[in-house]
Amino acid sequence: MSRKLEQAAAVAVAAMLVFTVSGAFAQDPLKGAETTRDPATASAQAPNSADSGDNSVRFVSREVVQPLPGSSAATDAPNGDRDDADVSDADSLSELVASISPDEKLSRDMRCLAGAIYFEARGEPLEGQLAVGQVVVNRAESGRFPTSYCGVVLQPSQFSFVRGGGMPTINTSSRAWRNASAIAKIAHQGLWDSEAKDALFFHASTVKPAWHLNQVARVSRHVFYR
């Protein structure tokens, strides 16, 4: 073969290779599969219409965002009312109590809850106070007692400190009341687990009533039952 014919043949082969390779990159690799794919999933897997045209990169239909550690999206409580006291930030119940502002004005219901804690357990450790508050909360949520804290606390023949349908005067400037108020908020919002758990009844450990109930716990000077 002459040198000119050899050069012409080489040019023809090169042209065929260029055409074949460029066609492979232009072809959508999903095109053949789209005819058999479920239409409901095809749109999610298709390239974004705003792409630059490079079929080697594909995008999902929406971005995936993982919350940063400690962000509000990962730690916010469902009820949205735990913004100034977070159990995850406290190493002890006393530390949690100290973190709650004593200046907040309590609603009537919260005063009833705090009052029960104050009169029944103000001389006990914080764990004992929380256990008493937990019983009031449990009763209000049980469906077997009034649904408000005041209804539970002021219910006749339930709490010995109640007189004439009301509570005695409270020394609201005392440390005992500040603690009771903080414990009431902790019990109400479930910021700390109580040993009383799901208890609905309690009595002083110095008495022995003939109750046929399941004992849940003994915390300080009270015994708790379900």
pLDDT band with cut points at 50, 70 and 90 for residue 88 = low
Residue 23 within any structural domain of the chain: yes
Is residue 127 scored above 70 in pLDDT? yes
Q: Is residue 100 domain-shared with residue 207, that is, in the same domain? A: yes
Residue 145 within any structural domain of the chain: yes
Q: Is residue 129 domain-shared with residue 196, that is, in the same domain? A: yes
pLDDT band with cut points at 50, 70 and 90 for residue 104 = confident
Is residue 105 scored above 60 in pLDDT? yes
Q: Is residue 35 domain-shared with residue 136, that is, in the same domain? A: no
DSSP for the chain? --HHHHHHHHHHHHHHHHHHHHHHHHS-TTTTTTTTS-HHHHHHHSPPTTS-S-TT----SS---PPPTT-HHHH--TTS--SS--GGG-SSHHHHHHHS-TTPPPPHHHHHHHHHHHHHHTTS-HHHHHHHHHHHHHHHHHSSS-SSHHHHHTSTTT-TT-BTTBPPP--TTSHHHHHHHHHHHHHHHT-S--TTTT--EEEETT------S-EEEEETTEEEE-
Q: Residue 89: what pLDDT?
A: 81
Mean pLDDT of 60-79: 33
Residue 72 within any structural domain of the chain: no
CA torsion sign for 106, 223, 161, 206 is negative
Q: Is residue 29 domain-shared with residue 118, that is, in the same domain? A: no
Residue 69 within any structural domain of the chain: no
Residue 44 within any structural domain of the chain: yes
Based on the structure, what is the number of domains in the chain? 2
Q: Is residue 141 domain-shared with residue 198, that is, in the same domain? A: yes
Q: Residue 108: what pLDDT?
A: 96
Q: Is residue 41 domain-shared with residue 127, that is, in the same domain? A: no
Question: Is the CB of residue 130 less than 8 Å from the CB of residue 192?
Answer: yes
pLDDT band with cut points at 50, 70 and 90 for residue 6 = low
Q: Is residue 117 domain-shared with residue 207, that is, in the same domain? A: yes
> Residue 10 is part of which domain span?
1-64
Residue 75 within any structural domain of the chain: no
pLDDT digits (tens, 9 = 90+) for 112-123: 999 999 999 999
Q: Residue 205: what pLDDT?
A: 94
Q: Residue 82: what pLDDT?
A: 41
Q: Is residue 2 domain-shared with residue 111, that is, in the same domain? A: no
**CATH of residue 96:** 1.10.10.2520
Q: Is residue 60 domain-shared with residue 93, that is, in the same domain? A: no
Distance CA 28, CA 146 (A): 68
Q: What pTM was estimated for this model as a whole?
A: 0.62
Distance CA 165, CA 158 (A): 11
Is residue 16 scored above 80 in pLDDT? no
Residue 128 within any structural domain of the chain: yes
